Structure 1
Amino acid sequence: MIDRGRTTESYFAWNPRDNPLLAPLIVGGGSIGGKGRSLLFALESLRRQGDPLFDEVRLPPALYVGAGAFEDFLSDLPHAESLLREEPEEIERSFLGTPLPPYVTAGLRRFLAGVDEPIVLRSSSLLEDSLQHSFAGKYRSTFLFNAGTLDERLSAAEDEVRRIYARIFFPAATSYRKKHGLGYDAMGLIAMRISGRWRGPFYYPTLGGVGFSRNFRRWTTRIRSEDGVLRLVFGLGTMSTKRGYARTYSLTNPSLRPEGLDPYKVMRHAQERFQVIDSRTRALEIYNIQDVWRDILPYHPCFGTFAQVYHQDCEDGYFSSVDRSFMPGREKKLSFTFDAFPKRHKIFFDRMKLLLKTLEDSMGVPADIEFAYEPCEDRLELLQSRPLWDGDDRQGQGIPEVGERRLLLKASRMVTNGSVEHVPWIVYVDHRVYSVSSDFHAIARAIGEMNETMGESRYILIAPGRVGSSNPELGVPVHYNELTRCCCIVELGIPREGYMPELSYGTHFFSDLEVDNVLYMPVYEGESGDIFNRDFFENSPFEAGPHEAIRLIRGDFSVFMCGFKNKGIVVAEALPDERGRQIPSG
């Protein structure tokens, strides 16, 4: 029996400088920060096991810079004490004009002399990747094409280090620290070769993704929390941390899809856009597989393992394998379904189950990883490892009888424990208006504007598709910092309009929801077990929001969620009449 408390203490006390094989990877004094320490701890934990399954698990070449270098840099920065009062542009200008400590420059030069592939520079502050605060998306990670002479590449890397340092003082980070009472932070960082290889003009790994030793948002009661979950994408794994499409696997039953087995629904949830580094633009680019599949097919002998062609017919459609005669069209399209992947790469799932369990046991808390994988060589690169905040200890109050309340929404999947009662507002984004809008981002900003006027009032946000999506056609592209008064998000699935919520567990957006105890549930109109009371939302009295797509409905609303039953409801305790006076909902 593992003593979780003692194990967790040992994890946070661990120092990579005590390992003679890891110490040479570090320059600068002090801690290398949560992100760097967690990654090296993971490597040591796996090597300690001596299991053959971990022989092909490695880290990309990297340099780790201690937070002492940041402190040395600040001591040379003019007027550092006044930076919090400056605008971000002025802060960055001051940082770019200050030289790095010479030992940091020397370390970067040595690293770049051995790496001529694209690299990423990642923040690794002292407060990042703690048990509760991941700082997901609050600091800066940046890609560099890493071309030119060594001096040119070094100069570009130094500038990016300075920009990462500057983010300590940017509003996104300072407001996050203030909100959570975290105080001062100091910045370590990681310079790392990006996982992948050149395939024609594109650089990318075959597969990338995120993994979790616990699944706190089960889509069926046939799955246990301890089974673990993966989100897998073709190409660079950054797509798996955004609210786009990815293949979601339960590690103990990979055949169970959250969207079910209907071919049309599988196609609707399947990835089509993937991210690469393009040598022609020297930038990160996103391509649709329909447009470039012939260019990359020769580099993937096992392409059919994760890609299929969907054929539309009068029934539900069907899938076939890919061949060179395929021509995308209205009735045929290529999708990354990963349908054959579990059968042909069972070792990948065996390794992931053991890896995540090993990391959870070693840290004493659930584990959260990012990875890249080359299936033909069965080679796994670990890109990030950190504690997964365990929000499953929230005690749900069960699901009460609706009784005199009016049932507005009911969900039957991806539900955790939690409840919030007597919420005075619902903010409803009308899917009919949103779908025909010429400016989705204007609606997102209007939600942020409305949020600012709420004062201390809480609200439930109900919107079509994926809230916070980077692709506005999938859902409202609102930023998390525009939802500070929101206590619950309900995503509406309207299949006939193409709005489909998705289990985006592990994305930056979801990380913030978990930490701040913002409840979430998806509701799919027309599906058994789910309820969307369309009459209420379309016909109740409302106040107009700052955009015609936004309705503010005043009342007395409550949310009850039970992870054990995988059930959640939103009910109206009382509603307003036309004169704004509260009336019973019954």
Structure 2
Amino acid sequence: MEEVSKIPQEWNKFYLKNVSFVNLMTRRIFNVLIVANPYDAFMLEDDGRVDEKIFDEYMELGMRYPPTFRQVSTTEEAHEVLHNTDIDLVICMPGNADNDAFTVAREIKAEHPNIPCVVLTPFSHGITKRIQDEDMSVFDYVFCWLGNTNLIMSIIKLIEDKMNIEHDIKEAGVQMIMLVEDNIRFYSSVLPNLYNYILAQSKRFSTEALNPHAAAQRKRGRPKVVLATTYEEAMQLYEKYHENTLGVISDTRFPMQVHEGRLSHVEDGDPEAGLKLLREIRRRDEYVPLILDSSEITNKEKAEAEGFHFIDKNSTKMNVDLHHLMEEHMGFGDFIFRDPKTKEEVFRVSSLKELQDNIFKIPYDSMLYHVSRNHMSRWLTARAIFPVSAFLKHVTWHKLQDVDAHRQIIFDAIVQYRRMKNIGVVAVFDRLKFDRYAHFARIGEGSLGGKGRGLAFLDNIIKRHPELNQFEQAKVSIPKTVVLCTDFFDEFMEKNNLWTIALSDASDEEILQHFMRAQLPDSLIADFFTFFDAVKSPIAIRSSSLLEDSHYQPFAGIYSTYMIPYLDDKYEMLRMLACAIKGVYASVYYKDSKAYMLATQNVIDQEKMAVILQEVVGKQYGDLYYPNFSGVLRSLNYYPIGDETAEEGIASLAVGLGKYIVDGGQTLRVSPYHPKQVLQTSEMETALSETQTRFYALDMAHVGDDFKVDDGFNIKKVRVKQAAEDGALTYLASTYDPVDQIIRDGIYEGGRKVISFCGVLQHDVFPLPELLQMAQKLGADEMKRPVEIEFACNLNDDRTGEFYLLQIRPIVDAKQVLDEDLQQIPDSDCLLRSNNSLGHGISEDVVDVVYVKTDDDFTAVNNPTIASEIEEINRKFLQADKNYVLIGPGRWGSSDYWLGIPVKWPHISAARVIVEVGLKNYRVDPSQGTHFFQNLTSFGVGYFTINTYTGDGVFQKELLDQMPAIEETQFVRHVRFDHPLKIMMDGKKQTGVVLR
């Protein structure tokens, strides 16, 4: 397609204004007062109540707010109702008897001039004569009652349209269809027909929406109908709304003033008024569809001679003809591409996505025919796709005479519109609509679970805050996501009879085997294939449980997350996906999860699991797949250094998959507001010893069904050198020059690579600090509490990149009041004092201390053994429902046992305070960003860092060594005090004490 270069520059970068359907049709008629004598009222309700019928009609057309009706027959009753109720519309029915319905209506109108008032007359000769003598000017409309309740709905809709038209056209560009007709009987039968057709159409086009709520709102974008009864009224309406006229349907004969202000042919109007009106409109707009109707067949030739469409009023199939013309010329129904010569159908599209998929396949001459007549724009307008139609309306054939350029413009506009519409919306998954421009969808009716809600929430934040996407070179979004709602989990458990094994004491492996043998519903297969096609990348299968990431007790990192590679063999990929989903389901019932449930006093069978299927952020390098970097951002920094403050937040960055951070690997810690001050790279020695040396990547070559309880079975731990060879470290690494003994920013031959993130933090290659500042500020503002956000980023060599938000959850703060200044307490009163503590609150019921024996011969080799000894002791505390203070060297919960004791959260879940102490020959920085860490904060567990060798804090170990042991193992001692220890922590000042 070389043609595209001809597209004028200003159309290459267009901006579509999003339309909010919520703000349309805001003025409604809710209460209707019917004034009629009892006999007419009875006629009205004769075959079933009006309100029931109207209610059924509303429901059938998917409209939400049917009005309620009150019926009165005297002025007194009317005044009483008007006094007690807000009436939005008065319908007055003068009967054949000489009753005073007109008088009642006039009195109402005199007292309430702003309430619309309509006369509904039964059709009879007598009444027509009677109306001729009455002054009808006080009434908004006069209609003829032919016994169908449809008419009442049409009256209500007509008046609602009148009330909303001005606002809705300004707000969204809603369209108007004008009916010009002075014959009461005729417009009383045409209007219900017209409205039924338009409302049914709006129900059809609302399927362009992504979920039921949005569909209900889209219907508000349907075209409005206006009724004019004279030439002057019609011209006035047209002039006011000519930009938004979808079409005009006009009678031939109606009143029209001629010069000197007298009416022509007073008796029955000007016999050519309709032709004159349509001529005048055609002179101003060459495209708008114009339809003439007449009961005089001689007018047919006149109409067609001037290029107007014609309808015979006397024809029995007049309504069918009208629908047909509206479908063909006003953009209702499917878009039919026709051969310009034969008018035969050559192609048909029924949805926006179909148009997008086929725009380049439409034959040239057919495309030319429709484009040069603005048909495309009109079709989009009738479907309430205003941003695209408004844009295309201005790209007329006069301005751009190039069919292929038009194709490209239409395609680009649709793509941009669908992207815009998909952001921030939880769509219902529909395999006909989900493609690479789709975004977030759910399969099923249940809950999205914690992570799913978090993602939907992030997506919504991105939609509402376009400033996140203000940087040319950085695109912010969430990865493509489909959530399998919790109802599938229930069905899976029930149908496969898994409850017994799940709730038993079987081993994790055994539970997993049972789950793997179970079956997922076949209905999912086609949906999964559609998803594979849309993402074309590896897929992460994450847990999203009801309890996980709930506001007050995050279950971070307890359940499994599997990743599967992208394969050309879709069936193999499907099989791996099914195994992964079953693996996530099974992880609800693993030993650690059950221990965790116990610790949080949750009931395991209340846990329900949704599963998130999400494209894995990253790029493929050979058999490895990983993003340039991942990170965890917290809006509260519990370890502020230098001039950082607790409120400025903190981020942990690492090359490769985020699992590395979660597992407690060596990350780069930076405050988004101080990107140039990175403690770890400030001194050469620290930079070399504390840089990331390994990273995680998905092994794309690992294909098979050997799913293990450990969800990282196909995640490779690779040396950072590999990332340098892959070219993934541009802008992220510095190089150590062993000759000059300095570290230089950037990648050079030879010399060790140091992961310093220098390009994105110090050299403004990519606006990472700004994005992190915005993300944490918006996240915390929207959640109204401190948050933790996970993210990943693909960085390109041309300094552009995609920044993906993966998850958000609250950091829970214990709100206990602490009014004492801990600095004032003398050291001698303290068993432990930390000037670098995490946690907040007071606790006065702990008497036990468990500590690791750290004599001179301590070595990290024994750390795995120490972990299992502590797990044993912890189990006894859980059984007794008691807590303790835990003290040990190095970093707790590290997966690398050289850095600390490799416990998992369930192994120490009864600890009230956890203390990491430094040793003379064993110094490790305090751990951060681990899931383990997140769990401490959510349970209000204190975390103290003490290093008495550098004079930082107090630890009276001798005191503990002198006490008798309740229990002692090879490496661990457990002692008990006679009186409770008083634990106090100040989260804002990061200080904590344990008093003897």
Calculate the TM-score normalised by the size of structure 2. 0.51
Q: CA deviation at 1:145?
A: 2.5
SS of match in other structure, 1:354: helix
Distance 1:67 1:56, change over 3 A: same
SS of match in other structure, 1:95: helix
Higher normalized contact order (CA 8 Å, seq sep 6+, divided by chain length): 1
SS of match in other structure, 1:428: strand
Corresponding residue for 1:518?
941
Q: 1:319 and 2:731 equivalent? A: no
SS of match in other structure, 1:368: strand
Aligned positions, number: 542
Instruction: Work out whether residues 121 and 189 of structure 1, in 8 Å CA contact, stay in contact via their aligned partners in 2.
Output: yes
Distance between the aligned counterparts of 2:501 and 2:634, measured in 1? 41
Instruction: Work out whether residues 213 and 368 of structure 1, in 8 Å CA contact, stay in contact via their aligned partners in 2.
Output: yes
SS of match in other structure, 2:950: coil
Q: Which residues in structure 2 correspond to 1:122-521 (within 5 Å)?
A: 122-147=542-567, 149-183=569-603, 184-215=606-637, 217-220=638-641, 222-257=643-678, 261-279=682-700, 283-289=714-720, 291-292=721-722, 295-296=725-726, 298-302=727-731, 305-309=732-736, 318-321=742-745, 324-327=748-751, 333-345=752-764, 347-376=767-796, 377-391=799-813, 393-396=815-818, 397-399=820-822, 401-403=824-826, 405-421=828-844, 423-432=846-855, 435-436=858-859, 438-454=861-877, 455-494=880-919, 497-505=921-929, 507-521=930-944
Corresponding residue for 2:82?
none
Corresponding residue for 1:9?
none
Q: CA deviation at 1:107?
A: 1.7
Please list every run of 5 or more consecutive structure 2 residues that lacks an aligned counterpart in the other structure: 1-209, 215-420, 430-440, 704-713
Q: CA deviation at 1:441?
A: 1.4
Distance between the aligned counterparts of 1:274 and 1:342, measured in 2? 20
Distance 1:400 1:559, change over 3 A: farther
SS of match in other structure, 2:843: strand
Distance between the aligned counterparts of 2:688 and 2:772, measured in 1? 26
Structure in which a larger fraction of residues adopt helix: 2
Deviation sequence 1:505-557 (CA, Å, 0-9, x none): 4x2101211122211111134335434446556x5345385542212233354
Deviation sequence 1:449-508 (CA, Å, 0-9, x none): 1222343443211111110110000000012111132110111133x5343132414x21
Bigger shift: 508-517 or 434-443?
434-443
Q: CA deviation at 1:168?
A: 3.0
Corresponding residue for 1:53?
470
Instruction: Work out whether residues 467 and 491 of structure 1, in 8 Å CA contact, stay in contact via their aligned partners in 2.
Output: yes
Distance 1:110 1:94, change over 3 A: same
Distance between the aligned counterparts of 2:943 and 2:456, measured in 1? 33
Q: CA deviation at 1:364?
A: 2.9
Q: Percent identity?
A: 23
SS of match in other structure, 2:767: helix
Distance between the aligned counterparts of 1:432 and 1:400, measured in 2? 30
Corresponding residue for 1:577?
none
Amino acid at match of 1:37: R
Distance between the aligned counterparts of 1:68 and 1:384, measured in 2? 23
Q: CA deviation at 1:347?
A: 1.8
Amino acid at match of 1:78: N
Q: CA deviation at 1:121?
A: 0.5
Q: 1:73 and 2:489 equivalent? A: no
Q: CA deviation at 1:273?
A: 1.7
Residue among 39, 44, 66 paired with 2:460: 44
CA RMSD between the two structures: 3.1
Distance between the aligned counterparts of 2:854 and 2:573, measured in 1? 48
Distance between the aligned counterparts of 1:254 and 1:413, measured in 2? 22
Deviation sequence 1:186-227 (CA, Å, 0-9, x none): 111111121110124432111111112233x13347333331
Deviation sequence 1:125-153 (CA, Å, 0-9, x none): 22221111221122221121243511111
Q: CA deviation at 1:230?
A: 0.9
Instruction: Work out whether residues 566 and 700 of structure 2, in 8 Å CA contact, stay in contact via their aligned partners in 1.
Output: no
Distance between the aligned counterparts of 1:179 and 1:407, measured in 2? 29
Corresponding residue for 2:320?
none
Q: CA deviation at 1:562?
A: 2.1
Instruction: Work out whether residues 443 and 547 of structure 1, in 8 Å CA contact, stay in contact via their aligned partners in 2.
Output: no
Bigger shift: 133-142 or 168-177?
168-177
Bigger shift: 399-408 or 546-555?
399-408
Instruction: Work out whether residues 34 and 126 of structure 1, in 8 Å CA contact, stay in contact via their aligned partners in 2.
Output: yes
Corresponding residue for 2:986?
562
Q: CA deviation at 1:56?
A: 0.6
Deviation sequence 1:11-59 (CA, Å, 0-9, x none): xxxx976457341322122122121121122112212222233761122
Distance 1:250 1:310, change over 3 A: farther
SS of match in other structure, 1:102: coil
Distance between the aligned counterparts of 1:543 and 1:418, measured in 2? 29
Q: CA deviation at 1:166?
A: 2.4
Greater Cα radius of gyration, structure 1 or 2: 2
Amino acid at match of 2:912: C
Instruction: Work out whether residues 195 and 381 of structure 1, in 8 Å CA contact, stay in contact via their aligned partners in 2.
Output: no
Deviation sequence 1:378-402 (CA, Å, 0-9, x none): 4334353223133153333431754
Distance between the aligned counterparts of 1:195 and 1:293, measured in 2? 16
Instruction: Work out whether residues 277 and 284 of structure 1, in 8 Å CA contact, stay in contact via their aligned partners in 2.
Output: yes
Instruction: Work out whether residues 465 and 491 of structure 1, in 8 Å CA contact, stay in contact via their aligned partners in 2.
Output: yes
Corresponding residue for 1:95?
515
Q: Which residues in structure 2 correspond to 1:81-120 (within 5 Å)?
A: 83-85=502-504, 87=506, 88-120=508-540
Instruction: Work out whether residues 563 and 698 of structure 2, in 8 Å CA contact, stay in contact via their aligned partners in 1.
Output: no
Instruction: Work out whether residues 248 and 257 of structure 1, in 8 Å CA contact, stay in contact via their aligned partners in 2.
Output: yes
Distance 1:338 1:526, change over 3 A: farther
Corresponding residue for 2:110?
none
Instruction: Work out whether residues 365 and 387 of structure 1, in 8 Å CA contact, stay in contact via their aligned partners in 2.
Output: no
Distance 1:563 1:139, change over 3 A: closer
Please list every run of 5 or more consecutive structure 1 residues that lacks an aligned counterpart in the other structure: 1-14, 328-332, 574-586
Distance 1:294 1:197, change over 3 A: closer
Q: CA deviation at 1:95?
A: 2.6
Distance 1:445 1:540, change over 3 A: same
Distance 1:233 1:410, change over 3 A: same
